Structure 1
Amino acid sequence: MSATPEQPFAPSPDETRLQARTVLKSVFGFDEFRPGQEAVITHMLAGGDSLVLMPTGGGKSLCYQIPALVRPGTAIVVSPLISLMQDQVGALKALGIRAEFYNSSLDPMAAEQVLRQLHQGELDLLYVSPERLLMPNFIAQLQSLPIAMLAIDEAHCVSQWGHDFRPEYSRIGALRPHFPQVPFLALTATADQATRDDIVTRLQLQQPRIEIGCFDRPNIRYTVQEKRTPFKQLQSFLDTRDPDDSGIVYCLSRKRVEEVAAQLQDLGYQAKAYHAGLPGDHRSQVHQNFLRDEVRIVVATVAFGMGIDKPNVRFVVHYDLPKNIEGYYQETGRAGRDGLSAEALLLFGGRDINTARYFIEQNTNEEQRRIESFKLSAMVEFAQALSCRRMVLLNYFGQRDGQPCGNCDVCLNPPRVFDGLEAAQKVLSCVYRLGQGYGVRYVVEILRGQENERIRNLNHQTLSTWGIGKEFSAAEWESIIHQLIHQGFLVQDIRNYSVLQFTEKSGQLLKGQVSVELALPKKATGKARGQARRTEKDELSTLQREVFETLRSLRKEIADSEDRPAYQVFGDAVLIEMAKHLPKTDGDLLAIPGIGERKLAQYGFEFLQCLRTF
């Protein structure tokens, strides 16, 4: 579509919805939007700003890709990593979408060609790095062109409260006055309330629609094991996996990455190391080999994987403790993006905590040290949790209405529990008497009747809740309070020194209108053994499994001939549906989610020919 910068785009809401749904089916091959997508897309098509929080694999990209194909002009997408841009542009081109990237990896001739396409209106989407976007000459060029929208991916990098703050990202908000009529869209998979508020302020979003998707990834099984003999634990975990499964093993140090990768190679695994200290061409090769299933396991630091588009990662292992829940959630979210079964294993040891705290103390910014310390404490609480892991994650992100999932290690191997209503009421009463202005340790000191200078100076020994909790040790009370946080009865305010505050559920607990079940801290930790998990491939019959493997071989042949990752032909979920339903016609193929008209035209004949042999 062509338009001048001044031309408004104002079709009726019904027209834009119809256009969006048409693109969803014809280009992307889906009949229905996922929750939240259509509302954001409609708002963006009407020219409004939005902030979108959806889990990894939750469909954030469609929130700007569809408006980019419907609105006049070119959509500019800000992305932090070159490899991420290349993956996404490759996937879009496979769908017939006119997309390119503009970053430092391009030689002058290639960069000039991309800019020529941009100026001639030949691009639907252009992915740019924040450094390139903020160049004055580039800003001036964009101001002379019809810009459909500006999408900022990984928007948590904008905020000082985010887990991956980047100074260059914080400057993107300065573009707002240059593009007052262009809708801005901020997207992230991980942001607490403080981070969300900061994103809106720093990007100068105008009355944005804030869409918060459900953070639950029910296809991922979360497991935490006490770290004892970590490599043997990793080997034991891998021995239970399908040898064709792809996975990522995260380590904190470059040295450990190389050690673990070498040990896995010695055992015959297709494993490679990846960290920022390796040559750029080596990292790029590992990345491409992983995408193309030529390397099954990547052992990496967190330098690997942001926004990775590979949908069939079946497991993520954290060999060391992550620094925060946001990073952990984002990294585990790289497993099972296709919606099929996946696993996340965390090995947790006390030495990891000390190492992480040491690195935090090296930060000279006192405010950042405080933020990072809080986030590390929350990560430790998750690892030590005695309640459903999924509930802990959902509560951390403000979604407090969840029920135990039945599919994490705590649910599958539950600890001993007791009726915790009285203990919980004591905690909440103490928090109330303290004016919701103190943290966990101080509340525990009051409950246990401690006498120290701070308590005497504040005269808190006169509170009615002082000394009412001597039946539990300090460690047990801390466990109880953390469980109440995980169950949504309390929240910690990161912006106010992590003080304990009430939630909308607190009043019901104080009035005794709800029951509370709490877990007793484990005296000794045995090896946790969950129930063996059946995957979608396990559910296939013998014939269906044979069909699936034959289709997978055909997919690899096609992908190799086109020099692209296999998942850009069809994902595993699509092949499983083919194996189950044995489609016979073009119409049958189009009925399978993930197959649009472009993919049908490209690959339909070959796959139907293959299926007819069965």
Structure 2
Amino acid sequence: MGKEDILYEGLKKYFGFDTFKGNQEAIMKSILSGTDTFVLMPTGGGKSLCYQLPALLSEGTAIVISPLIALMKNQVDLLRNYHEEDGIAHFLNSSLTKTEIEEVKNDIVNGKTKLLYVAPESLTKQENIDFLRSVKISFYAVDEAHCISEWGHDFRPEYRRIRPIINEIGVRPVIALTATATPKVQHDIQKTLGMMNAAIFKSSFNRPNLYYEIRPKTDKVDSEIIKYILSQANKSGIVYCLSRKKVDDFSEILQANGIKALPYHAGMDAAARSANQDAFLMEEAQVIVATIAFGMGIDKPDVRYVIHYDIPKSLEGYYQETGRAGRDGGEGNCIAFYSRKDLQKLERFMQGKPVAEQEIGKQLLLETAAYAETSVCRRKMLLHYFGEEYNEPNCGNCDNCLNPKIKVEAKELLITVLEAIEALKEKQKTEYVINFLLGKETSEIETYGHNELDEFGSGADEEESTWQSVIRQALLDNYLKKDIENYGILKITKKGKDFLKKPVSFKITKDDEEEENEEELYPDNADMMASGGGSFGAVDPVLFAMMKDLRKKMAKKLNVPPYVIFQPATLEAMATTYPITLEELQNMPGVGPGKAKRYGKEFIDLIKKHVEENEIERPEDLRVKTVANKSKLKVSIVQAIDRKVALDDLAESKGMDFEEMLSEVEAIVYAGTKINIDYFLNEIMDRDSIDEIYSYFKQTETDDLEMAVENLPDYTETEIRLVRIKFFSDMAN
């Protein structure tokens, strides 16, 4: 019986299928013939079958190295379901008792066990190495192989010890499998596992049914997501957030708006986590709000949307998380909210890590930023990142393809870029090349003496964003590539060298002028709250003008600057959603119970009268209920300040950096809660300094931070923010 017949017979006998998917059959033949095999197959492609069936058909036991205890258990249970003998598959990890370990070893010695799942940590234990040396091993399977690479999205240092241990136990063929790997990560996996000559099988990463969209993240992100979920009646979805706290807060907000949502993150106890996961699988909950801890090995075929509240740290993470949508081939909408400030925050979190790790993290963030900011087809860009060419002019299923931008000729610009890279001897990364083109005399450029080169400043006439677009498009069109060994360094391809000899048409997409100034268009909520800036334009300019007028009169009467009563952004929100009760008023940005009580009555009376006189229909769906007022964090901060806890100590105890803590305190006082931080201010600043900043805010028409920093050059931004908090609390609350 040939290898092919054995495979088909085994497939039918053990798994009940008649046909293989994609290149499963070729992969199995490769490992059965004793060849090292590398498998790159996106989630849902049937990866695990590629080693399970060959293991069942081979003599001896296959060692499967897997990083997650939950996944191992899941796989072992599935295999036992297909086979009448429980001993067919076992796992060996820290969750087993001594007796259970003995049982596993007996089954292996007696030839019952075809697959042994091992955590990399268990594999390194000497007693396990000694035992496995006495076992007949069919082959080794390294699952989730991207964990080997520091460039992978889930690096596990113990994975790098796999090859030496295999050599110690006994060399047999190796099959490495992963669902997400860039060319750089693939190279790392093969190199570290000593399988540079492996047979390579790559499946396409294209999921044509998934729709990709990036939206600017504004202070309205909560209500945007709520409106979207409410429009997807009875459809299942996942919302990914970066922090556990955000998961807890946002699932509460969704619940307050009548959405069956449950949280899921590693900080919850295992029972609650698994109960929430089951409720989602059984459709008792419509939405899971989760950190990336959710979804590993979850095979719910009908997840119809995946929303990223925060942009992830890497495109691998993004691809894997969006990949949980539309597994049944049906609709799958992937919407991510992006602001540059989120990326800056992620970069700050990396501080304190080893320099090499920071450098890798930064490169991965740059890839994410490029993807989020591009006007090129998102599918093309995502597939290119995973080393796959996608040559369709329009994918028809991403925001950029459905709303294409104008393309402009950029042949001359590409020549300028390629000449600059040549002049720099193909040894620099994108950021360096752009600084060089713009003629920026950075310390690095001066150290290398590159400011003396003729090409230095050859691109000073263009914007930085234009050079970003040219390099991005040149990478997509294969005029440039990123070096594998020193990832991020730009190299000119053969096609790029030919282009320099004989240039052809090269086009880039032109961004609209106003879109380039994203920071102005879409200020972050915290920033808006803290600066009184961030004009989104009121829907009802007449009401807005009337409220400004009322605010002016009240300010005069109370002898405080107008912005102290309500921020411009708050007035705009009120002139858009028409709150007519104090409870509704509290849902406006920057309004808490204290502020609503103190100043609210006159404003809601004015709005009520305006709505009635003009027969305005109030937009029900825009008045999103929030649970921010009940926020446990804010309450605990206020209590700690009452106990006179130093703000820097408080930040540390909450696991935040000091700036984040200040933003929380600002939000508290802007919403109308009175606090007293004199004990902290007097400790770090002298009386005269406090008075000078305080009187500045008393006299100025705005509490804009940038303007204050400019007008108060002797003080740091932090000092100004602290005194502004005191001023606001005294005056407004």
**What TM bracket, shorter-length normalisation?**
0.7 to 0.9
Give the match for residue 195 of structure 1.
185
Matched, 1:376 2:365: yes
Matched, 1:233 2:220: no
- 1:273 positional shift: 1.1
8 Å contact kept, 1:385–1:483? no
Matches of 1:378 and 1:320, distance apart in 2 = 15
Matches of 1:477 and 1:195, distance apart in 2 = 27
Matched, 1:387 2:376: yes
Gap change, CA 1:91 and 1:420, over 3 Å in 2: farther
Q: 2:139 aligns with which of 149, 164, 180?
A: 149
Give the match for residue 303 of structure 1.
293
Q: Could you give the per-residue CA deviations for residues 345-388 of structure 1, whole angstroms, max 9, x where no partner exists?
A: 1111122112101111131x111111111111111111111101
Matches within 5 A, 1:64-75: 64-75=51-62
Q: Could you give the per-residue CA deviations for residues 101-128 of structure 1, whole angstroms, max 9, x where no partner exists?
A: 3333445555444444333333332322
The letter for the 1-side match of 2:26 is A
Q: TM-score, normalised by structure 2?
A: 0.65
User: Number of paired residues?
Assistant: 513
Give the match for residue 92 of structure 1.
79
Matches of 2:66 and 2:501, distance apart in 1 = 49
Matched, 1:357 2:347: yes
Matches of 1:206 and 1:116, distance apart in 2 = 36
Gap change, CA 1:283 and 1:27, over 3 Å in 2: same
Give the match for residue 57 of structure 1.
44
Q: TM-score, normalised by structure 1?
A: 0.77
Give the match for residue 603 of structure 1.
none
**Bigger proportion of residues as helix:** 2
Matched, 1:272 2:265: no
The letter for the 1-side match of 2:71 is L
- 1:199 positional shift: 1.9
Matches of 2:237 and 2:93, distance apart in 1 = 28
8 Å contact kept, 2:375–2:400? yes
Gap change, CA 1:429 and 1:28, over 3 Å in 2: farther
Q: 1:347 aligns with which of 337, 340, 348?
A: 337
8 Å contact kept, 1:78–1:151? yes
- 1:328 positional shift: 1.3
Q: Could you give the per-residue CA deviations for residues 119-173 of structure 1, whole angstroms, max 9, x where no partner exists?
A: 3333332322222233222233323233222211111112223222112222222
The farther-off stretch of 380-389 and 275-284 is 275-284
* Bigger RCO (CA 8 Å, 6+ sep): 1
Where 1:272 maps in the other structure, the secondary structure is strand
- 1:210 positional shift: 2.5
Q: Could you give the per-residue CA deviations for residues 384-426 of structure 1, whole angstroms, max 9, x where no partner exists?
A: 1110111111121222353342211111112222122332232
Gap change, CA 1:339 and 1:356, over 3 Å in 2: same
8 Å contact kept, 1:421–1:509? no
Q: 2:414 aligns with which of 424, 445, 460?
A: 424
Aligned CA-pair RMSD: 2.8
Matches of 1:343 and 1:217, distance apart in 2 = 11
Gap change, CA 1:346 and 1:496, over 3 Å in 2: same
Give the match for residue 271 of structure 2.
281
Where 1:69 maps in the other structure, the secondary structure is helix
8 Å contact kept, 2:129–2:169? no
The farther-off stretch of 383-392 and 192-201 is 192-201
Matched, 1:400 2:352: no
Give the match for residue 441 of structure 1.
431
Gap change, CA 1:331 and 1:505, over 3 Å in 2: farther
Gap change, CA 1:457 and 1:80, over 3 Å in 2: closer
Gap change, CA 1:509 and 1:344, over 3 Å in 2: farther
- 1:205 positional shift: 3.3
Matched, 1:247 2:234: no
Gap change, CA 1:55 and 1:264, over 3 Å in 2: same
- 1:32 positional shift: 4.2
8 Å contact kept, 2:230–2:259? no
Give the match for residue 607 of structure 2.
none
Where 1:524 maps in the other structure, the secondary structure is helix
8 Å contact kept, 2:130–2:169? no
- 1:60 positional shift: 1.7
The farther-off stretch of 461-470 and 141-150 is 461-470
- 1:49 positional shift: 1.6
The letter for the 1-side match of 2:301 is P
8 Å contact kept, 2:64–2:141? yes
- 1:284 positional shift: 2.6
Matches of 1:293 and 1:84, distance apart in 2 = 22
The letter for the 2-side match of 1:73 is G
Where 1:380 maps in the other structure, the secondary structure is helix
- 1:511 positional shift: 4.9
Matches within 5 A, 1:106-117: 106-117=96-107
8 Å contact kept, 1:158–1:199? yes
Q: Could you give the per-residue CA deviations for residues 505-553 of structure 1, whole angstroms, max 9, x where no partner exists?
A: 424543556543311123335999xxxxxxxxxxxxxxxxxxxxxxxxx
Give the match for residue 182 of structure 1.
172
The letter for the 2-side match of 1:205 is M
Matches of 2:68 and 2:448, distance apart in 1 = 51
The letter for the 2-side match of 1:418 is V
Q: 1:328 aligns with which of 318, 341, 356?
A: 318
Matches of 1:453 and 1:272, distance apart in 2 = 50
Gap change, CA 1:96 and 1:238, over 3 Å in 2: farther
Gap change, CA 1:429 and 1:34, over 3 Å in 2: farther
Matches of 1:293 and 1:251, distance apart in 2 = 21
Give the match for residue 483 of structure 2.
493
Matches of 2:500 and 2:229, distance apart in 1 = 46
Specify the structure having the higher radius of gyration (Cα). Answer: 2
Give the match for residue 159 of structure 2.
169
- 1:460 positional shift: 4.5
Matches of 1:513 and 1:429, distance apart in 2 = 12
8 Å contact kept, 1:84–1:309? no
Matches of 2:424 and 2:54, distance apart in 1 = 50
- 1:89 positional shift: 2.9
Gap change, CA 1:308 and 1:380, over 3 Å in 2: same
The letter for the 1-side match of 2:412 is E
Give the match for residue 79 of structure 1.
66
Where 1:273 maps in the other structure, the secondary structure is strand
- 1:463 positional shift: 4.9
Give the match for residue 647 of structure 2.
none
Gap change, CA 1:58 and 1:510, over 3 Å in 2: farther
Where 2:2 maps in the other structure, the secondary structure is helix
Matches of 1:419 and 1:312, distance apart in 2 = 43
Matches of 2:500 and 2:227, distance apart in 1 = 46
Gap change, CA 1:25 and 1:170, over 3 Å in 2: same
- 1:54 positional shift: 1.5
8 Å contact kept, 2:12–2:18? yes
Give the match for residue 553 of structure 2.
none
8 Å contact kept, 1:387–1:486? no
Matches of 2:267 and 2:446, distance apart in 1 = 53
- 1:242 positional shift: 4.9
Matches of 2:48 and 2:407, distance apart in 1 = 42
Matches within 5 A, 1:465-480: 465-480=455-470
